[in-house]
Amino acid sequence: MEALAVRLSGLDAYAEGAIRVVAFYDTLMRRRVDLPALARASAGLAECVAGIRLHDTGRAWRVAPDGSRPSDPPSPSSGHGSAPAHGSAPASAPVPITLDEEEIGEVWLERPGPPLALDTVVLERLALAAATVVERYGPARTTMADPALVELVISSGADEAATARALRLLGFPADAPVEVVAVRSRLPLHRIGALVCPGRTVKAATVGDVGVLLAGGVDEDRFPADARAGIGAAESPERSWRQARTALRFTTAHRPVVHHARLGALALLAHVTPDAARENADVAAIAALADNPGDLATLDAYCATGSQRRAAQLLHLHHSSVARRLEQIGRTLGVELTEPAGLVRATVALTTWRLLTDRDG
């Protein structure tokens, strides 16, 4: 490296400097420094304040060239500070720390005056080095995981020892409860994991056509609007995965997140055979009703809320319009929807039809 730097120095001073920066960070990695030491070394190299921040924990290291911690925040020009501070230098545009194709943090410099030519190289190498440190001293706190490990955790054929080892490799403490979630969404799976498991360990992978989240805890209210999610309830990850897949089948536009434990006896409907479902008169009537999306949406909203007025609010219609629709739908189904027994009958038929179409699809 040094010989190459000498040869390039006669041609391009910038190239020589860039190679020396690369060699500097290679040396740091060989010495297996941690993130605070990496921030201190970078501040000394750049001769200005250097910063590292990890998104999942919110921890940040901001170090001056002399190794001290600056007392005043950086200028908010890059979004790192909330207000200008007297004597502080503007922060450069942050460079993302990327691991497993996921942004896990950012690095930046705070240089008085204009940036130097090699600042970009310093930031790029600092970001790469920070990713290496996070991975080395992990397990890495990234969301995306090796699908093979995730499949091993939820596999029905794995023994307890293999499952426990896979969970340890994924970063879950021994004997800690792990929630299993089945997800369908247009959003990237790692973003959903970060949203619903803030500050907790979460690993994500796609298995077949369904996203899998393994998490130390899930905040159900934080799922994005377009996501459908089923949450398992069993202690065994393998059984919990089966439950999560079942719960996912019960999700609707008005009930996008379903916890298997709250399904109760309704979960039994998932085990009704397709032939038995098709032969049921109520399910067949729902299938015929499906040709009219407006009627199906009205019945869905009414079954979800149990109230004509709340259904009208969901549908953005006047409650009298919903009442007329439900009266017509009840005649078509041969069910008195305003009676409790009729509402239960329609809900069971609608749910069974959904499960049937989900299975056929």
Closest alpha carbon to 220 in 244, 248, 256, 189: 256
Contact between residue 241 and residue 323 where contact means Cβ atoms under 8 Å apart: no
pLDDT of residue 339: 92
Q: Compute the average pLDDT of residues 271-291.
A: 93
Annotate 255-311 with DSSP letters as a single string.
--EEEGGGTGGGGGGGGS-HHHHHH-HHHHHHHHHTTSHHHHHHHHHHHHHS-HHHH
State how far Cα 50 lies from the chain centre.
29
pLDDT of residue 336: 92
Q: Which amino acid is at 244?
A: A
pLDDT surpasses 60 at 76: no
More confident residue, 56 or 295: 295
At a CB cut-off of 8 Å and minimum separation 6, what does 291 contact? Answer: none
pLDDT of residue 165: 86
pLDDT tens track for 123-155: 999 999 999 888 776 544 567 777 888 999 999
All structural domains of the chain: 2-136 (3.30.450), 147-263 (no CATH), 272-360 (1.10.10.2840)
pLDDT exceeding 90 applies to what percent of the chain? 54
pLDDT surpasses 80 at 8: no
pLDDT of residue 107: 95
pLDDT surpasses 50 at 268: yes
Q: pTM of the prediction?
A: 0.63
Contact between residue 197 and residue 225 where contact means Cβ atoms under 8 Å apart: no
- Cα separation of 316 and 321, whole Å? 10
Element (H, E) at 181: strand 179-184
**Least confident segment among 3-17, 105-119, 285-299, 343-357:** 3-17
- Cα separation of 102 and 229, whole Å? 22
Other CB atoms within a 10 A radius of the CB of residue 205 amount to 23
pLDDT surpasses 90 at 211: yes
Cα dihedral 96→151→235→251 (10° resolution): 80
pLDDT of residue 297: 92
Q: Which amino acid is at 311?
A: A
Instruction: For 5-39, give one letter per residue: b (16+ CB within 10 A) or e.
Output: beebeeeeeeebbbbbbbebbeebeeeebebebbb
- Cα separation of 358 and 33, whole Å? 52
At a CB cut-off of 8 Å and minimum separation 6, what does 253 contact? Answer: 300
Q: Compute the average pLDDT of residues 25-53.
A: 92
pLDDT of residue 105: 87
- Cα separation of 23 and 357, whole Å? 60
pLDDT of residue 299: 94
